[in-house]
Amino acid sequence: MKKKTLRDVEVANKTVLVRVDFNVPMDDGKITDDNRIRQAVPTLEHLIEKNAKVVCFSHLGRVKSEDDKAKLTLKPVAEALSAHLKRDVTFVPETRGEALEKAIDTLKPGDVLMIENTRFEDLDGKKESKNDPDLGKYWASLGDVFINDAFGTAHRAHASNVGIAANIAESAAGFLLEKEIAFIGNAINDPTRPFIAILGGVKVSDKIGVIKNLLDKADMILIGGGMSYTFLKSQGIEVGTSVVEEDKLELANQLLKDAYGKIVLPLDFRVTKTFANDAPSRIAAANDIKPDEMGLDIGPETLEKYQKLLKNARTVVWNGPVGVFEFENYRHGTLGVCETVANLEDATTIIGGGDSASAAINFGFADAFSHISTGGGASLEFLEGKTLPGLACLDDAS
């Protein structure tokens, strides 16, 4: 599925609608991680250089009440974007109407404008999230070309991506979306081997599709995080009070059978009796977790084994931390995996967004990987082999 990209589109003097993903973490109105804004800069700078009139669309959080509007306005994001682009960004605190239309009409080539949080439209029947046809048509009427650069929402059919694309003359992928598809797509469909996947996180159910798809493509799947305990319990091993999906035990057992040894489970864990950073803990073998203990991180023997397996890898995809890395005493496994993958030579290394991306960035390895995805849910669905609506809606390459 080859799609038009930004390079294929003539944008000079045209009003270009750009779906970006500026759903950044906020604390008391201040951005705590601007990675998604920085990742969109190359596409926006290209449009500016080509004399386009740029109109940015993004959501921020989930807007469920009028009270959410004050907390979830995109005004601070527009200010941050202005700093990154080193030029004024006009912010319009509306998602439709005369004020927005006039502001767009007055744009000059090279100008940038950002409309208000698209999910403000969700207060009236979830018009954005449910891809209301009239809303998509209205937004499309505001411009000449649509560029989707929001990989983080590409797995959703919203009015601000699929809706606009269906009602505009020309649409294409931005540089970030193109990069995400190229890195993750090539890793899955044409990897340099050995290809090792590392899957962590809490739930097996979140990764079922990914595991099934990777069983046919990866040479090895290293398991960590909360899902480890569901796999172990499915084999009759005592896991104490560790997080377990009881309704997925049979599935986990079947996945292990289908894997024919490709799935590698932890050998030991750091366990404790209380979910707290400073609670007393010990290292326990996988078959030595007591009934009143829970595992919160992989142990040193597991980390050493995973490091040896990763040593010769030439393609690595990592999705999900292997422990509760938010707790300083239980981040050793995730940090160790992060350091190992980041220091691999002659390897394509990809982090599939979400918490593993946050961990790598927080640990100071943001520039040490071949690619860190900006989309958690989108990365998972792409790793599953699913078609992403936000990509499928764009014009095909000629």
Q: Mark whether 36 is an active-site residue.
A: yes
Gap between the Cα atoms of 178 and 3, Å rounded: 9
Gap between the Cα atoms of 296 and 74, Å rounded: 36
Query: Catalytic: which of 3, 4, 14, 36?
Result: 36
Q: At a CB cut-off of 8 Å and minimum separation 6, what does 140 contact?
A: 17, 146, 163, 164, 165, 166, 167, 168
Query: Catalytic: which of 152, 224, 336, 354?
Result: 354
Q: Mark whether 203 is an active-site residue.
A: yes
Q: Mark whether 257 is an active-site residue.
A: no
Query: Catalytic: which of 110, 209, 377, 385?
Result: 377
Query: Catalytic: which of 38, 75, 203, 212?
Result: 203
Q: Mark whether 377 is an active-site residue.
A: yes
Q: Known catalytic residues?
A: 36, 203, 354, 377
